[in-house]
Every structure is written in structure tokens, then in C-alpha cells.
Amino acid sequence: MSKEKELILEAKHVTKKFPLTKGKELIANDDVSLKFYKGQTLGIVGESGCGKSTFMRMMVQLEQPTSGEILFKGKDITQETADKRANEGMFLSFQEPLEVPGLTVSAFIRNALQQRKGSYIKLWDFKKELDKNLKFLDMDPAYSERSLNPMAAKIVAEETDKMMIATKQLFYAMEVHKLLHFTNPDMSAVSFAMTIHGLMDYELDQSNGKCSYETDKNLLDDYLKWFCEENAI
């Protein structure tokens, strides 16, 4: 008796329309339904411009479907953000061979793993595990030191922008309720957000990944106290 295949990803009646001028629209995907099973390699073939890339971009939330559902392991993820899908292990390998100098593939993977685990990963431990997996896949270790694809960097930048926008909204609310006064709310928000990130990264590096809650708290408390004193009404 053959073992039933595990359904991983499913598109159900997915349609994508792009608005054009004079009330017209371009239908890139029309009522598409597909199932992806564990261990399966599925090729989608078609003429240039027929909607292949649009369909795959919808799978990882780089495009939002006009209608239809996308299910991952039975869960409806149609409205989930790209970063949440990435945490589930869903990625899109882009066709562009362009690279971002200074940001390597291994550095990006290590950072993504740390974000997913919520804890620091020592560089030496990460390199050993990475080399082991590269050997298992029969891949040249040099691939891990190549510069990162720009589209992946673009996703990271977009998430950073969202964080900045949220911080600015918080600062504007403080102004309205007369909790704090900012000469330049936009610049203050950027400075505040980036300083907090810098403080946390610095503490993480200094403690070799063994973050001390009290040390972090004192460091942040000192900065928050100074910031509020500087901007208080």
C-alpha cells in the first residue's frame, strides 16, 4: 500500500488582475489551482508574460491575489506577510544574478536563523553547521561567501521601513498627547529606532551572545532616561 503524499502548499482558485487605464484590466492569473507535495519538484512552463512569475510572487506575498486562497500545510496564509511566510520556510529564488557587495549569503542566513530562533548563534558554530550542510548538498563552500541577491536585501529593507514608520507614528501620537516634544519627529524617530538596535547589537556582541537581561535593561534605561529628558515638554 503506497504512502499518501503530504500536501505542503496549495493554491485554490487564485486570480490576479492589474488595473489599466480607461477602466480596463490585465488578468495575469485566472482561477489557478495547484497543489505542491512534500519532496516534489514541480515545473511551471509557459510563454514569457503568461503569469508564471506573478503566480510565484503571490505564493510568497510579494504580490497579493485579487481573489482565491493560498494554503500552507492546511493553514490559510493568503493575508500573511512575507516575513511570516519566510519564517515558515517559504522563499523565492530570484532569476536576477545581481549581487549586493558587502553582504554575504552566509551572513544573511545566520541573521535569519538568529531572528527565527530568537537567540544568538556563535559564528564558529554556524560555520561548522553551514559547511556540513554544503558538503551534504555537494555545493562549493564559496557559494556561501558570495554577495547577496538584491531582491532579498530589498525585503529586509522593506521590513526596516515598516519599523521606522511605526516609530514615527508613535512619536506623532506623543506630540498630540503632549507627552514628549520633538523638534523634528521624523529624525528623532529614526535616531531613536536605530540607536535602540545599535545598543542591543552592541550588548549581544559584548556578551558573546549570552544576553544579560539586567545589563540590557540598564543600558536601555539609561538611553530612555536621557532621550525623555532631552525631549520632554
The predicted-structure confidence for 85-144, as pLDDT tens digits, reads as follows 777 777 766 555 455 556 677 887 887 777 777 778 888 888 888 888 888 878 788 878
Beta bridge partners of 55: none
pTM: 0.42
Pair (169, 129) in one structural domain? no
Pair (159, 142) in one structural domain? no
Pair (143, 158) in one structural domain? no
Domain count, the chain: 3
**Residue 218 in domain:** yes
Pair (175, 106) in one structural domain? no
Domain end (from 115, 130, 148) = 148
Averaged confidence pLDDT in the chain: 76
Between the alpha carbon of residue 62 and those of residues 18, 103, 155, 161, the distances in Å are 14, 22, 9, 16
Pair (39, 14) in one structural domain? yes
Q: Give dist(CA 76, CA 70) in Å, integer.
A: 6
**Mean pLDDT lowest for which of 32-36, 165-169, 195-199?**
195-199
Instruction: Determine the 3-state secondary structure of 113 from DSSP.
Output: helix
What pLDDT does residue 1 have? 46
Pair (61, 74) in one structural domain? yes
Pair (17, 63) in one structural domain? yes
Residue 122 structural domain: 100-148
Q: Give dist(CA 82, CA 61) in Å, integer.
A: 5
**Residue 140 in domain:** yes
pLDDT per position as a tens digit, 36-77: 898 888 888 887 778 888 888 888 877 889 999 998 888 888
**Residue 34 in domain:** yes
Pair (144, 174) in one structural domain? no
- Give yes or no for residue 212 having a pLDDT over 60: no
